């Protein structure tokens, strides 16, 4: 019987804190690391901006870089880091047989063109004709593809030669949950031997903020850490640009090629609570009950967004288990939407691999001083969909 445990062999991370697993580990385990916040550009909203990135490190051709807007470039870059880390980048055979599931958003529109249409609309009643007039002449032909959801995966295929299969899931945090859940299920069933999975989010675009703010989800006023935003002005979410990609592999496949294993990916759980009925906290508790949590104290990397209702529900469910010491990663990175769950799983894997926990990311988070053999990762959507996974030390 083949050993199809799912193991994590590659991690690619980018956030306002920097890039790479090691850099994130160093920053996040240094008590008192301050978040990188830009409170000016998108007032009254604070965001966590991208760090300076030398795109050429992972996307060699400038022509390729030009074919992507920032979000696709960020995802392609982060995916390259994960492939590098797993020793797959540049290995034609492994790349050509590698499957891929990308959690994607999209819609990085041309803000100048849009602003021009809106400005002109003040003096026009024939707005439909105005749209035709402006868009046929001002839209850059290649922009459509450069911001299209499935073209992040498309660019990963082109730049990194991952071509076994290519699937793109959409749906905010839930897409990240489903991507990892599906990738793991494929490996466990023998449908895949190695899978690239992850996502990216580039918040520095007004439409990306609008996607939250149409329902008033963004935090306003002075920045606060995740668990302390209840009752503050606005909806509680502070966004951040970032990406997270993982290489998942069957244990046999990883061992056969002698690849370092960070951690084992245990149960991956997903749900769709009927939140309008107030059932979210109970639903999260149900997922926790199915997560095969070990005895004793447990570190959890929470993807909590800060959104008031969802974050309170998660808090209440986690507080129901006094053994859990949660760390809200968004306090330091901001909310990265589709990348949120892959990011949380990656941080969990790093803790298991390093054999140490993270200090509290904000005051009030429970101490954790043990050597974690298991770490929980959660992503409770700011609006809909929930997921979690248990990451464990390799046996």
Partner 1 sequence: MVNLKDHLGRPVVAVTGIGVVTSLGVGKADNWAALTSGKSGIHPITRFPTDLLNTRISGMVDYLPSSTKGASALTYELAETAALEAVEEAGFATDDFDGPLFLASPPVELDWRDRFTLYAGDDEGSASERLLKVARSQNSLDMFDTSQFGSIADRLADRFGTRGLPITTSTACASGATAIQLGVEAIRRGECDRALSVGADGSATAEALIRFSLLSALSTNNDVPEKASKPFSKDRDGFVLAEGSAALVLESLESALARGAEVLGILRGCGEKADDFHRTRSKPDGSPAIAAVKAALADAGLAEDEIDYVNAHGTSTPENDKMEHLSLSTVFGERIRKIPVSSNKSMIGHTLSAAGAIEAAFSLMTMREGVIPPTINYDNPDPSIELDVVPNVMRKAEVRTVLSNSFGFGGQNTCLVMAREPV
Residue with Cβ nearer partner 1 (68 or 360):
68
State the binding string over 78-117 for partner 1 (x if CB under 8 A, else -): ----------------------x---xxxx-x-x--xx-x
Least distance to partner 1, CB of residue 202, Å: 15
Pick from 270, 290, 247: nearest CA to 341 = 270
Q: Please report, for residues 97, 178, 233, 245, the alpha-carbon distance to residue 163 in angstroms, rounded to integers and kept in the order given.
A: 7, 20, 46, 16
Q: Quick count: other Cβ atoms within 10 Å of Cβ 270? A: 18
Q: Which stretch binds partner 1 (CB under 8 A): 11-19, 52-60, 121-129, 309-317?
A: 121-129
For the segment 27-46, give every residue that binds partner 1 (CB under 8 A): 45
Of 123, 125, 136, 277, the one binding partner 1 by CB under 8 A: 136
The label of the residue with tokens 């929980």 reads 376
Burial class of residue 90 (count of CB atoms within 10 Å of its CB; 0-12, 13-18, 19+): exposed
Contacts 24+ apart (CB under 8 A), 153-159: 153/100, 153/102, 153/104, 155/64, 155/67, 155/68, 155/72, 155/75, 155/76, 156/75, 156/76, 156/79, 156/100, 156/102, 156/196, 157/100, 158/64, 159/58, 159/59, 159/60, 159/61, 159/64, 159/76, 159/80
Q: How far is CA 310 from the centre of its chain?
A: 17
Does residue 383 belong to the site contacting partner 1 (CB under 8 A)?
Answer: yes
Among 21, 35, 75, 154, binds partner 1 (CB under 8 A): 154
Measured from the CB atom, is 178 or 333 closer to partner 1?
178
| Per-residue x/- track, 205-224, partner 1 (CB under 8 A) | -xx-xxx-xxxx-x------
By CB under 8 A, what part of segment 268-327 binds partner 1?
270-272, 274
Of 125 and 369, nearer to partner 1 (C-beta) is: 125
Question: Which position among 24, 48, 73, 186 is part of the footprint of partner 1 (CB under 8 A)?
Answer: 186
Site for partner 1 in 232-271 (CB under 8 A): 234, 270-271
Minimum distance between the CB of residue 279 and partner 1, rounded to whole angstroms? 13
**DSSP SS3 for 138:** helix
Shortest approach of partner 1 to residue 271 CB, angstroms? Answer: 6
């Amino acid at each position: 019987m083949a050993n199809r445990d799912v193991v994590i062999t590659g991690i690619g991370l980018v956030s306002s804190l920097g890039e790479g697993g090691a850099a994130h580990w160093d920053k996040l385990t240094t008590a008192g690391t301050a978040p990188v916040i830009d409170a000016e550009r998108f007032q009254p909203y604070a965001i966590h901006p991208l760090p300076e990135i030398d795109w050429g490190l992972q996307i060699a051709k400038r022509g390729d870089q030009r074919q992507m807007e920032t979000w696709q470039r960020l995802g392609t870059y982060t995916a390259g880091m994960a492939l590098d880390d797993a020793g797959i980048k540049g290995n034609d055979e492994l790349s050509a047989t590698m499957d891929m599931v990308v959690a994607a958003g999209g819609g990085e529109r041309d803000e100048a063109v849009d602003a021009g249409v809106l400005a002109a609309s003040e003096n026009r009643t024939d707005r439909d004709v105005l749209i035709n007039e402006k868009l046929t002449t001002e839209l850059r032909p290649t922009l459509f593809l450069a911001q299209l959801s499935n073209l992040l995966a498309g660019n990963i295929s082109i730049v990194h030669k991952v071509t076994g299969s290519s699937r793109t899931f959409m749906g905010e945090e839930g897409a990240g949950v489903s991507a990892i859940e599906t990738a793991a299920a494929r490996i466990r069933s023998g449908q895949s031997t190695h899978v690239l999975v992850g996502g990216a989010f580039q918040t520095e675009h007004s439409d990306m903020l609008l996607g939250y703010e149409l329902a008033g989800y963004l935090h306003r006023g002075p920045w606060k850490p995740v668990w302390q935003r209840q009752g503050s002005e606005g909806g509680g979410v502070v966004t951040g640009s970032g990406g997270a990609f993982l290489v998942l592999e069957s244990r046999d496949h990883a061992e056969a090629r002698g690849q370092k294993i960070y951690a084992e990916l245990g149960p991956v759980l997903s749900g769709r609570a009927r939140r309008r009925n107030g059932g979210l906290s109970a639903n999260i508790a149900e997922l926790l009950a199915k997560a095969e949590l070990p005895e004793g104290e447990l570190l959890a990397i929470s993807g909590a967004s800060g959104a008031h209702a969802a974050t309170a529900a998660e808090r209440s469910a986690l507080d129901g288990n006094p053994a859990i010491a949660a760390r809200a990663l968004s306090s330091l990175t901001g909310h990265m939407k589709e990348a949120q769950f892959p990011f949380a799983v990656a941080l969990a894997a790093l803790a298991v691999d390093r054999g140490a926990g993270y200090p509290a990311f904000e005051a009030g988070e429970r101490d954790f001083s043990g050597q974690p053999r298991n770490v929980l990762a959660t992503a409770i959507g700011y609006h809909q969909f929930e997921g979690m996974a248990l990451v464990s030390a390799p046996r």
